[in-house]
Amino acid sequence: MGRSLGTSSSPMEDATITTLLAQLRNRVVLMIGDSSLRNQFVQLARIGLAFDRNAPVADAIVHGAHRGSFSLPWPIKQPEKPDSSNGFWGGFPWMVATTPQNVTLVYAKVWGCAELGSIVRKTRAVLLRHRQRSNELGGWPPHLVLWNFGLHLLHVYPARPVPTVALRCALRYEALVHESTRELRAVLPQAHLVYRTTNAVCDKRFDGAWELAMRAHHCAASYSAVDEAAPRPLANACRSERLLRVQEGCRRRYNITLAECVATFMDEGNSRTQRAKAISATSSHPALVKLFDAFSITDGRCDATVDGRHYPRLLATINARFLTLAVAEVGETERT
């Protein structure tokens, strides 16, 4: 996405998002998730607060080069950081932006499968402080919540290990969606709930240590699911001690079977499985939660990603479709 996320969309796409945002006047939208949700938030904030298209968000915030109000937990000390720096922006547990039309967007970071009730309670305190700083703009509770558990539950061992608890959540993904829906409904009984499917993973884009991990786990998928000690005939590309060490390392690190290592690896197949389980979980509660299918937008679009999991060139499409859903859900009545 480069230094500025503003260059990933066209002026026409930005105009569409501006029009849709205007229909959410006096609304509060809470977005809970990983960097996929954060990138959605950043693009919406950029457009809603009229950032210069070429200016990195960090630099514009430091110099006040935007309209509306933007809140962070602490001052930005590295204004030169680009919008593409996951290491930098991932350090912020929350961000809040309110447009001049009083559309408030809130991003709350979740790593793995954290308990959402505590995140919501912390976000309430954040929004109340933001309201005090922004001439009484924004408010609580949120009208709509968009959330996702996804990429942070999947490992790329040994290049990108994740906590064992994340893998356990990945193995019971449908139950996780069910439970998080009930949890959010309990703490936000009036909010409209929307579950976001995980971006499609384009593992063809993996290189270096990530590509090695992918080969090891895709080769492991050739082993018998019944008796992992008895491998099926393998292609020559899989006959490697190096790959076998990766497979064994995953089993030992997480104390799980090889089949479970394969089932929790970050690749196209497992992101597709997460989508199927999310559809199943949300279809069981159509009155409680809607589904926003980001997977279907990113599936097969390896041309639009560099790292295989973030799709900056598709963010405008993702956000336009999400806002269309949000307007249909909460865009017609004022907060009372």
Strands of the sheet containing 144-147, edge to edge, are 69-71, 94-98, 104-109, 28-33, 144-147, 192-196, 289-292
39 vs 21: CA distance, rounded Å = 16
Residue 16 lies in a domain: yes
Query: Where is the domain boundary, 244, 265, 286?
Result: 265
> What integer pLDDT is reported at residue 31 of this predicted model?
98
> What pLDDT score was predicted for residue 102?
93
Same domain, 145 and 114: yes
Last residue of a domain, one of 248, 265, 282: 265
Parent domain of 240: 206-265
Is residue 247 domain-shared with residue 220, that is, in the same domain?
Answer: yes
Number of independent structural domains in the chain: 2
* Closest C-alpha among 309, 325, 329 to residue 37: 309
Same domain, 156 and 185: yes
pLDDT, residue 224, reads: 38
If asked whether residues 47 and 167 sit together in one domain, one would say yes
**CA distances for 173 relative to 237, 272, 323, angstroms:** 32, 12, 26
* Reported pTM: 0.93
CB atoms within 10 A of CB 214: 23
Report yes or no on 87 lying in a domain: yes
114 and 92 inside one domain: yes
Q: Quick one: 29 and 67 in the same domain?
A: yes
**What CATH number does residue 143 fall under?**
3.40.50.1110
- Binned average pLDDT, 10 residues per bin, the chain of 336 residues: 82 96 96 95 95 92 94 94 88 95 95 89 93 82 96 96 95 95 94 97 97 94 52 62 94 95 97 97 85 98 95 96 97 55
pLDDT attached to residue 335? 44
